[in-house]
Structure 1
Amino acid sequence: MRIVWTVIFVVALGAGGYLLWRHAPRQVEERRGTNRPTTATVEYRDIEFNIIVAGEIAPAEQVSVRPEINGRIATLEVDIGDRVKKGQVLFTLDDKELQQQRSSSQVEVDRARLQLEQARRDFARAEQLFRANLLPLETYEASRTSLELASNALQRAERELALIEERLTKTKIVAPFDCTVLTRPVSVGQAVAGSGGISGGTEVLVIADLNNLIINAHVNQADVTYLKPGMTVEVAIEAVPGLKVIGEVERIAPQATLRNNIKGFATRIALKNVDPRIQPGMTANITIPVARAEGALAVPLAAVFTEQGERFVFVKQPDGQFEKRPVQIGLSDYFYAEVVSGLEEGEVVALEPPPGVSLGSVRAELAGSGRAGGPSERMRNGKAGERRSSGSLGGPRGSGSGEGTPRGLRPRGPAS
């Protein structure tokens, strides 16, 4: 008897689990359908469409510091991260050998100067004797030649001394401007080569002016037409969440280059009011304004449908039925579309085809106009009215049909 009751219990338990498994997904779908809005109200709102271009932050002025002469590092006055004022000593070279050469050269100059004075006295006496017809012409001319040779010897010795003193000045390297030390690949006592050699010299320091930073960006050829020198853009720093600064477009290359198999234009953007948290090498996202409509009559993108090239919406009537109505669309971002004509404020539109309308014959899609977004562009960042430039560091242009946008809708620029 116990075995029979056990079998009945197991069968009942299995049947209950099977029924629960069959009905649970349906209940979840019903809850989802209940919570998901199916209509929206036509209202006025601002619509803005932007392009996002990624670039790398770099100093406006960066210098690789190399000695002009060969030598050995005697002192390193700075290290990585130090802030240095203009004219402050960065490092010095061992100048003992040059000091000895300078002393020897100074002795030669003094000797040549004494010899010149002696030659002048000899020539003065020879000249007096020659005029008194007491000295042969040959001796007089020899005395004058000795004077000229002594003068040339002094000039040569002074030039050699000047060269040595100039080399001595190159043993002390100072900062050319207010800067910060970025790298220091050498140490005290290391032999370094001068910049005049074949190798170009040994890099001792890399310094940069971090008070003036720029962004080097590669802007896709399809987006560069929206940029102009002097344009103000908004810059977001990925490494510092929430930080946004203002930049100004300084230069746009006159010729396109190929980078990561994408043709674009090198663009330089200067940052204004640099935040101390911004460092070279960080990635910056530049927002390029393309189009903006203030106070535009708008509906969600999901409410706009396309059939055989005609755009229309389903407007809710007082009796609860939906009327199919053609509309003219202007500017759109990734969530809303401007309605130029066909709707009025306060009307209610459907976000999905009403019952009885085949989903296969109606598509909720705004075809790109090629001005603010085209068929080959996809949303990459989830922000309304923004898309990534394919020429940026954010990656290549997408080839899908609008992933990331509601129901596959694509943004478009101002109505042509």
Structure 2
Amino acid sequence: MNGLTGTKHSSPDADLSFAALALPLVGKVNSMRRKSLVLALIVVLLVVAGGWWWKSRAATRGDASAATAGAGGASGPAGMQAVGVVTALRRDVPVVVEASGTVSPINQVDLRAQTTSTIRDVLVKDGQTVAKGQVLFRFDDRADRANLDKARAQLARDKASLSDLQRQYERAKELLAQKFVAQSAVDTAQASLDSGRSLVDADDAAVQSAAVALSYNEIRAPFAGRAGAVNVWPGSLVQASATGTPLVNIVQIDPIAISFNLPETELAPVLQALRPGADGARPTPPEVQVVLPTIEGGPARGKGGRNGEPVVRGKLVFVDNLVDSTTGTIKLKAEFDNAQQKLWPGQYLRVRMTLRSIADAVVIPQAAVILRGSDRQVYVVGPDKTAQLKPVKLRYTFGEMAVVDGVDAGAIVVLDGKQNLRPGTPVRTQPAAVNPAAAARLAEAAEAASASTSSSTSAAASASSGARVGAAAGG
């Protein structure tokens, strides 16, 4: 303290101590200010996000309300649900099994030489159609023809000797009767005669053998068919061999067969279709259809295939006597008339076989059937325009169609929109868009059933006519 001025002075150490105490307080104040700014910024962001969410929710509610209003307008008054419907049809539906088959010739042969010789004439061309018995190849037959002539000459000489021996024997018997010769002379003449006869028989066999050898110099078609590639030319040396290159291959084209396999589970219906009737009438073989490939991918309309492809019809002719235990399948074969050569050996085609027909069947699209566990149901539109749930039983399915029990023919069945229905829901009906392939399959089934019925009727009429003829003959 200064007495003159009254001024109070502090020491430097005291100032430094105050500054040291003040600095932490300033830092805490600055830290609190930063935290406040961060909190304020977070609050602002939350407010902005909340406003955006509320606005989006309001817009979504508005769209949903508009959609609901639109749906209500489409469904009709009083909330009627729009559905697509089809009419249950009554048809005769054939029961058909399908498999992949291979076209195979009924007869096929590799022609080979049966003698060693040189080819003189080739009378067949690659791919030529040949008739039964037609000469296809001729060999150099000079040696075999000479052997035949030699055998014939030997036969003629021995026949002349046999005639002389016959005369000597007759003379010996006359002399024996006159007692001019002993019995031994007659016995000797008899032995010479028997020897001459045996020699003639041997010569005759030699002639036949030479004739057979000569016949080997002509190769003929054993049946009518089509020749493959010709593998020899005039002047070629051929030898009798079972393993060498064949001269030519011939296959029978008309009629022709298709081999196919079915699961053993289908064997019982196949055998049932082949059993005679109760009156012992001969069964009509099941019809087998083959869908042919179209030219350049263009469908041949109106030909009977599912998509308009041409169809060839045949009949079942063979069921194997064993089930293949490895694959669990049974081999079958069908025969087809093939005058137009639409089927070609080695082709791989789809085969359909009609085993029987379900008469007066009720048919609906498979898509109309609702599966709930092991139960199957359909929605049917009643007279009061409400959807009624009906249980059904699937009897048979083909393509996209199904034969069912539990629905009457003519019933209005819901196909589209059934997922939005409950029993008793009011509905507004409109025709459903049926798959064209399903419609074609239904038409095809009706046609096949009609054809099957016609063939069965014809067979029954033929059998009845035959019975009448037999009865008349017996009477």
Q: TM-score, with normalisation over the residues of structure 1?
A: 0.61
Shift of 1:212: 0.6
Consecutive unaligned residues of structure 2, counting only runs of 5 or more, are 1-66, 72-81, 275-284, 300-308, 423-436, 444-475
Question: Is the partner of 1:253 in helix, strand or coil?
Answer: strand
Amino acid at match of 1:247: G
Give yes or no for contact 2:113–2:238 (8 Å, CA) kept in 1.
no
Where in structure 2 are the equivalents of 1:146-185 lying within 5 Å?
146-185=192-231
Shift of 1:269: 0.9
Look up the match of 1:22: none
Amino acid at match of 1:325: L
Deviation per CA, 1:124-149: give whole Å up to 9, x if none.
Answer: 66666666666677666555544444
Give yes or no for contact 1:119–1:146 (8 Å, CA) kept in 2.
yes
Distance 1:46 1:275 in 2: 37
- Does the alignment pair 1:213 with 2:256? yes
Cα distance change, pair 301–127 in 1 and its aligned pair in 2 (3 A): closer
Question: Is the partner of 2:315 in helix, strand or coil?
Answer: strand
Give yes or no for contact 2:288–2:352 (8 Å, CA) kept in 1.
yes
Deviation per CA, 1:159-216: give whole Å up to 9, x if none.
Answer: 322321232233323333333224544444232316xxxx488743332332211111
Where in structure 2 are the equivalents of 1:1-400 lying within 5 Å?
39-45=83-89, 48=93, 50-119=96-165, 142=188, 145-188=191-234, 189-193=236-240, 199=242, 203-227=246-270, 228-229=273-274, 230-238=285-293, 242-258=309-325, 262-272=327-337, 274-289=339-354, 292=358, 296=362, 298=364, 300-313=365-378, 325-331=389-395, 332-338=397-403, 340-341=405-406, 345-346=411-412, 348=414, 350-351=416-417, 353-354=419-420, 384=441
Hey, which of these two has a bigger chunk of helix by percent? 2
Give yes or no for contact 2:380–2:411 (8 Å, CA) kept in 1.
no
Cα distance change, pair 200–239 in 1 and its aligned pair in 2 (3 A): farther
Look up the match of 2:455: none
Distance 2:322 2:310 in 1: 32
Shift of 1:280: 1.6
Distance 1:267 1:233 in 2: 11
Amino acid at match of 2:333: R
Give yes or no for contact 2:289–2:314 (8 Å, CA) kept in 1.
yes
Give yes or no for contact 1:212–1:271 (8 Å, CA) kept in 2.
yes
Shift of 1:152: 3.5
Count of residues paired in the alignment:
321
Cα distance change, pair 167–44 in 1 and its aligned pair in 2 (3 A): same
Distance 1:310 1:238 in 2: 40
Give yes or no for contact 1:126–1:140 (8 Å, CA) kept in 2.
yes
Question: Is the partner of 2:101 in helix, strand or coil?
Answer: strand
Amino acid at match of 1:52: E
Q: TM-score, with normalisation over the residues of structure 2?
A: 0.55
> Mean Cα displacement is larger for which, 208-217 or 230-239?
230-239
| Percent of aligned pairs sharing the same letter | 18
Give yes or no for contact 2:137–2:220 (8 Å, CA) kept in 1.
yes
Distance 2:413 2:196 in 1: 107
Distance 1:159 1:349 in 2: 84
Amino acid at match of 2:152: Q
Amino acid at match of 1:271: F
Distance 1:126 1:80 in 2: 68
Distance 2:161 2:378 in 1: 107
Shift of 1:55: 0.9
Give yes or no for contact 2:290–2:349 (8 Å, CA) kept in 1.
yes
Shift of 1:266: 1.1
Distance 1:342 1:128 in 2: 108
Distance 1:201 1:82 in 2: 22
Distance 1:342 1:103 in 2: 87
Rg larger for: 2
Look up the match of 1:362: none
Cα distance change, pair 297–64 in 1 and its aligned pair in 2 (3 A): closer
Distance 2:413 2:177 in 1: 124
